[in-house]
Structures are given as C-alpha cells and as structure tokens.
Amino acid sequence: MRITCPVCGERSVAEFAYEGDATLPRPALDASAEDWCVAVYERENPRGPHAEYWQHAQGCRSWLKVERDTLTHAILGVTLLGRFSGRTGE
Amino acid sequence: MAEYSVFSLIANALTGNRSWKPAWRAATPKPRYDVIIVGGGGHGLATAYYLAKEHGITDVAVLEKGYVGGGNVGRNTTIVRSNYLLPANSHFYEWSMKLWEGLSHDLNYNVMFSQRGVLNLAHSPAQMDAYARRGNAMRLAGIDAELMTREDVARFVPDLDVSPDARFPVHGGLLQPRGGTARHDAVAWGFARGADRRGVDIIENCEVIGFLRDGTGRITGVETTRGEIGAGKVGVAVAGSTSQVLSLAGIQHLPIESHVLQAFVSEPLKPLLDTVVTFGAGHLYISQSDKGGLVFGGDIDGYNSYAQRGNLPIVEDVASLLLTMFPSYGRLRLLRSWGGIMDMSMDGSPIITTGPLPGMYLNSGWCYGGFKATPASGWCFAWTIARDAPHDLNAAFTLDRFHSGAVIDERGAGPVPWHH
C-alpha cells in the first residue's frame, strides 16, 4: 500500500501512522457523556470506502484525511489537513 | 458415526483407508430450528457442540458462508495460553485451558493439544518486575506461572540469542508451562463432528443475507442464500464480519473495528523449537508445528481492513524480530504468509452477551486472541443462549461495558483498537 502525501508525493505506508476513523465529528467539550461514548467507542467499520486519518509521521508530519477502500486497500483520495492545507496546489 | 479408536485405525489401515466416512453430514437446511448459530468457525461450532452436550439443545443449525475451517480458525498461529492479569480475563481463559486439557477425549478427536509451554521474554529489569506481578496474579488465580532468569531461558530455548550484546538483551522471562499449541483445523473438525454426532446440522455454503423479525422487532430467523430459516434464537459468531452481519439487522455501530493480522510459516524442518516463545521488546510469537514448519506472527497491520492480506512493512518487521531472537533462522525460507480479519474491540477484550436485539446473541471482539478461547467461548456462549443470561465467566464481557465504563483493558492502551 502506498499513500500519496500532498506535500511529499507517493510514499510507502511504512512512513505513515494510522490515526483512526475520520467520519466521527468530535463532540463539543460540554456534550453529554452518551455523545462522548458514541464518538470514542462506536464505529461503523465499513467494508469498502472509509474516511480515515493518517499522519506522515516519518516524513513531513502532516495530518491527512485519506479515503481508502478497506476491502481492496485502494487509496481513493488524500486531503491535507491543518494550518498549511490551504496551500495545497500552490 | 463410529467412535474413533485404535481399533478403527487398524481396521481402516488394513482395508487401505477406503472405508472412512465423512466426519459430519452435509445437512440440508430445515424450515426452522430452536437455535441457529451464524458462523461455522471454531467458536460457532464449539457453541453448537456445548449447546447439545451441556444443555440438551440439539435442534441447532450452524450456518457457514464458506466451508468449515476456511476462516480464522484455520488462519491463526495455534497458540493456547491463559497468562492474563485482569480477573475477568484470567478466570475465563483458565476455564478455556481446562477445557483444552480434556478436549481430545471429550470430542473423541485428536486436536493435538501440546502443552509445550509459552515463554514471554523480558528485556529489562522493569519488564521482569511487570512479569513477576503478572505471574503472582496468575498464581493467585490458580494458574501456573514460573519466573525465569536469563540462564533458565538460555537452557529452555537453546537457539535463542541471550548474549549481552543483543540489540535487546534478554533479562529473563515468564513461563506458563501448561500453555502450548493445538492443531487448529482439528479443533474445527472435532467440534463439527462432535456437534453433528449430537444432532446439530452443519450447513456449509450458506451465507446469511438478512434477518427475519416479527412485529415486536424480535429476531425470528435468518434469510440465507439457501432460503429463509426460522429460529427461536439466533447466535452470531462471525469474528471479523461482525459489523457486516449485524448491519443486516439494522445495527450500524459497534465498539469493533476489523483489522488484518498476518501469519507466516517456514519450510518444514526437523524438530528444533519445542516451546512457544514471544519476544518482549517488540511483538513476535513463534512455535514449530508437528509438520515441522515454524509458525509465527507479530502485530496487526494497524489499519481497518477486510482484505485478508496485509502489506510488506509487517513482513519486514516480523522477519527482523525473528532474526533478532534466533539469528540462526536467517537461512530458512518462508513457505507461506496469509492474513485474517480480526474483530478488534475497543478495549481488547471479547463480547459474549445476550442481544443486542431480542432473540439475538452476540459472540465477538476476539481481537487476535480468539483461538485459545475457542472451547470456553463456545461453552459460555452456549450457556448464555440456553439460559438467556451470561455465566459468571462471561458476565463481564458485555456490549454495554463501553457505556457503563467497566471496560476490560488488559493492555491499558485505551480505545485504540489497533494498539491492543
């Protein structure tokens, strides 16, 4: 599996750290305990396209949102997150 | 079906082994059963076996999408141990160990259970302290445990690199002498045969594609690729496919992620490793099968996957750990590698419970420790299905523990399933 980092280009998955499901919005700090339980523990766990966070930990250290197929491991799309994300494509 | 014995072996040998009968019938689905078990893996077959044996419930069908032994029960590294720290886990896995110890006789099927010991290596004084604590906890729970010095380890596993200039020098280890390995296919086949002999229908090539429900929402059966089948109770034991199967019943979220775990086997060799060894400064476990192959594995790949195949970084990681432990294995050839899909729960512990819907029962969340649990998992799940309430041994393995806060996090990794 290879992931194309928007900053560094196509790299081996070994350079990236998996950071989990990106489909769940983070609850507000004063949200109910039940809302937090759902966000922390409940997962859709799809067999197919899945939005997830990865960090290019052994490269530029950017946080990425990756659309990936969990059945085929095909990378369907990569978006740069964080303060530099507005510069993608410059 | 005839008992297997030394006499049946001799009689069949003298007649050219042409008279053996299939170990279980190829059953055709009936319109209705008292209990349907979805998933013909080790846990589902064990559940059917103990439903019949312990609770007298024999109107049971086990529905398997593929063939018996084709899923995780045939894909694991066959290690059996009960060296847990937390009380809920240690009592459950020790009960499993006790069932393992009598399983071949109980099933009249040789599962080749070999109590060759499971040795966890320690690579620092702090890790020795942690193992001393774990060993004490195990002994307090009535489980065998022996703390070993570096010299003990060197005598116990002669090929191991215990030299002081190793990258992670071995300080000692924790041995569970009663741990070991079993022949994984035989476990599936033995439970299938044992259940079949008590009247259970084992129905292969029968995929569940929906659930039947009555007006109150109660589960009343399943829709399959071989037609609708009614049931008084439906137990689901489908490991990595739990989220997919329960979504057919309208349950879209569970405290489970599916991850891929790879395993490896070398070319067959003369006997050279007579125990199970696990590396303590990384993650690697290795034993030698009776066929001679070195069977080993390491961490899960670490991202959600249903692919049943992993990627090369884990192959490299596992190979480098293997050579760190056993430099002399460097010239061996890898025969095969494969992947299985793990139902990684959010606290690393299993779920054996009534629900989550009326008429449904759930057995899942085995992470990558499901094989050793096979007998106790089936035993407890059968109890839970038969009595509509958990046994004391699985009372803590609920689905709502994540909401009540009573998680069982053996590793202390938090709700990060790829770190368990």
Question: Cβ B304–A50 below 8 Å, yes or no?
Answer: yes
Q: Which of A43, A65, A67 best probes binding to B when mutated, by most B CB atoms within 10 angstroms?
A: A43
Angle between helices B42-55 and B184-197 (to 10 degrees): 40
State the pLDDT confidence band at A84, using cuts at 50, 70 and 90. low
State the pLDDT confidence band at A89, using cuts at 50, 70 and 90. very low
Question: Cβ A70–B255 below 8 Å, yes or no?
Answer: no
Taking the CA atoms of residue B309, residue B242, residue B102 and residue B107 in that order, the dihedral angle to the nearest 10 degrees is -90
**Tokens representing residue B399 in the block:** 């689905």
A23-27, A29-33, B388-392: least confident range: A23-27
pLDDT of A88 above 80: no
- 3-class DSSP state of B234: strand
More confident residue, B197 or A83: B197
ipTM: 0.93
Taking the CA atoms of residue B89, residue B278, residue B73 and residue B20 in that order, the dihedral angle to the nearest 10 degrees is -120
Cα separation, A81 vs A62, whole angstroms:
7
Question: Cβ A70–B307 below 8 Å, yes or no?
Answer: yes
Cα separation, B85 vs B79, whole angstroms:
18
Question: Cβ A12–B252 below 8 Å, yes or no?
Answer: no
* First and final C-alpha spacing in chain B: 43
Contact status of A13 with chain B (Cβ, < 8 Å): yes
Q: What's CA B211's distance to the chain center, in Å?
A: 26
Rg (CA), chain A: 14
For residue A20, list chain B residues with Cβ-Cβ distance below 8 A.
Answer: 416, 418
Question: Cβ A14–B254 below 8 Å, yes or no?
Answer: no
A17: nearest CA in chain B?
A: B302
B254 min Cα distance to partner chain A (Å) = 5
* Cα–Cα separations (whole angstroms), residue B250 to A47, B186, B208, B350, B393: 15, 35, 14, 22, 29
Selecting from A18, A44, A47 the residue whose C-beta is nearest the C-beta of B303 gives A18
Cα separation, B265 vs B270, whole angstroms:
14
Contact status of A14 with chain B (Cβ, < 8 Å): yes
Q: Which residues of B lie closer than 8 Å to A, measured between beta carbons?
A: 243-244, 252-258, 302-307, 311-313, 316, 346, 402-403, 415-416, 418
Which residues of chain B fall below pLDDT 70? 1
Q: Which of A24, A41, A68 best probes binding to B when mutated, by most B CB atoms within 10 angstroms?
A: A41
pLDDT of A24 above 90: no
A54: nearest CA in chain B?
A: B303
CB B153 within 8 A of CB B172: yes
Largest CA distance in chain A: 42
pLDDT at residue B2, rounded to an integer: 77
* DSSP label of B70: S
Cα separation, B23 vs B190, whole angstroms:
8
pLDDT at residue A25, rounded to an integer: 87
B403: nearest CA in chain A?
A: A37
**A residues 28-57 near B, CB within 8 Å?**
34, 37-38, 40-47, 50, 52
B407: nearest CA in chain A?
A: A41
Question: Cβ A73–B346 below 8 Å, yes or no?
Answer: no
pLDDT of A90 above 70: no
For residue B306, list chain A residues with Cβ-Cβ distance below 8 A.
Answer: 47, 70-71
Of B241, B237, B248, give the one whose Cα is nearest residue B209: B248
Residue-wise pLDDT tens digits, B121-145? 999 999 999 999 999 999 999 999 9
For residue B307, list chain A residues with Cβ-Cβ distance below 8 A.
Answer: 70-73
For residue B68, the tally of other CB atoms under 10 A from its CB is 24
pLDDT at residue B1, rounded to an integer: 56
